[in-house]
Structure 1
Amino acid sequence: MELLEAIKTRRSIRKFKEEPVAKEVIQELIDTAIWAPSASNRQPWGFVVLTDKNYLKQLSDEAKAGWLAQMDSLPQMQQYRATMQNPDFNIFYNAPALIIIYGKKDSHWSKYDCSMLAQNLMLAAWEKGLGTCWIGFAHNVCDTPQFKAKHNVSEEYELVAPIILGYPETLPKGVVPRKEYPIFYWG
């Protein structure tokens, strides 16, 4: 697959086959993703990889409970109330793997650097026939001191991108048109 094709056709995938993703494939994706640029070449990233579907379901349930507990103070989350109340909804969409990207807090540009790494990871996965989706709902469980301690993540790191990974149940068709965008100045 050519790079331009990967960029234009990659989609967020939320339905996966039961097939696990081999450890070697995940390692190769991470090894490719780390070639992202970073400010002053700090390379401020670190990773947690989870592949236990029962544990991911438990984390999903914890995340949903957390969102529901603070729902009244988060107006932007009201649209997800019914989703979070649904016992069958899994925030990780039953994906066989979750790659969590953390960035060092002392690196001012860490979130940008790790976001570029995340894009590399998602494009490399797509090229290999794997689907991904950045799971914003996981932020309230994967950045807690308890979670970090359990998974050996130093407090010097903060969560940037929880990305699910797996073989898509179906492949999306075509290219989604882009919206018009402003160019504010060209001088």
Structure 2
Amino acid sequence: MDTLECINSKRSVRAYTNEIISEETLTNLIELGTKASTGSGMEPWGFVIIRDKNEIDSLSELSKKYLLDNLEKYPYLNQYESWLKSPEYSIFNNANTLLLVYGNTESHWYIYDCSLAASNIMLAAHSMEIGTCWIGFAEHTLNTKEFKEKYNIPDKYELVCPMSMGYMKTKLSQPKRKKPVIFHK
């Protein structure tokens, strides 16, 4: 798949097969992610890979509970309350792999750099027919002190991108987008 086709056809994927992504492929995707541009050459990224389905399911339930208990802090999530209450709903889309991108806060540019790395990973994965989805619902749960201690994440690192991944169940059509808003030509 060429670059333009990859960009034009990339979608967030929320339905995965049970096929396992190999360790070699995950390592390759992370290495491709770190080819991203980086402010001041700091390369502030760090990664966590979770491939234990029970752990992923447990983190989904923990995240759902946290969000439901704290909806008043996140009024923009009220529209998802019924999803969060559903026992069948997995915030990680029943994926068997999570890739978490953390940024070293010693770099002023860590959010930008890690977002660029995540984008590289998502596009490279798409070119390999691996789907990805940025999971905003997990922002709190995967950035707590307890979670960081369990996965050996230094205190100076903050979660930037929680990403579910897996081989796509079905190929999706190209995304439809509004015309770009251009303020000045």
Match of residue 118 from structure 2: 118
Q: Structure 1 CA distance, aligned partners of 2:159 and 2:119? A: 15
Residues 18-167 of structure 1 aligned to structure 2 (within 5 Å):
18-167=18-167
Q: Structure 2 CA distance, aligned partners of 1:73 and 1:111? A: 22
Q: Structure 1 CA distance, aligned partners of 2:180 and 2:123? A: 23
Match of residue 176 from structure 1: 175
Q: Deviations over 1:159-178 (max 9, x none)?
A: 000111100111112x2232
Uncovered stretches (5+) of structure 2, i.e. residues with no partner? none
Match of residue 185 from structure 1: 184
- Normalising by structure 2, we get a TM-score of 0.97
Q: Give the deviation of 1:88 after TM superposition.
A: 1.1
Q: Give the deviation of 1:51 after TM superposition.
A: 0.3
- Normalising by structure 1, we get a TM-score of 0.96
Corresponding residue SS for 1:165: strand
CA RMSD of aligned residues (A): 0.9
Q: Structure 2 CA distance, aligned partners of 1:122 and 1:87? A: 28
Corresponding residue SS for 1:60: helix
Q: Structure 2 CA distance, aligned partners of 1:98 and 1:73? A: 25
> Any conservation in 1 of the 2:11–2:175 contact (CA below 8 Å)?
no
Q: Give the deviation of 1:96 after TM superposition.
A: 1.4
Q: Structure 2 CA distance, aligned partners of 1:85 and 1:47? A: 30
Corresponding residue SS for 1:90: coil
**Percent identity among equivalent residues?**
40
Corresponding residue SS for 1:103: strand
Q: Structure 1 CA distance, aligned partners of 2:181 and 2:171? A: 31
Q: Give the deviation of 1:109 after TM superposition.
A: 1.1
Q: Give the deviation of 1:185 after TM superposition.
A: 2.2
- Runs of 4+ in structure 1 off by over 6 angstroms are none
Q: Deviations over 1:10-50 (max 9, x none)?
A: 11100000111111110010011100001011000000000
Corresponding residue SS for 1:132: strand
Corresponding residue SS for 1:159: strand
Q: Structure 2 CA distance, aligned partners of 1:183 and 1:3? A: 24
- Give the letter for the 2:40 counterpart: S
Uncovered stretches (5+) of structure 1, i.e. residues with no partner? none
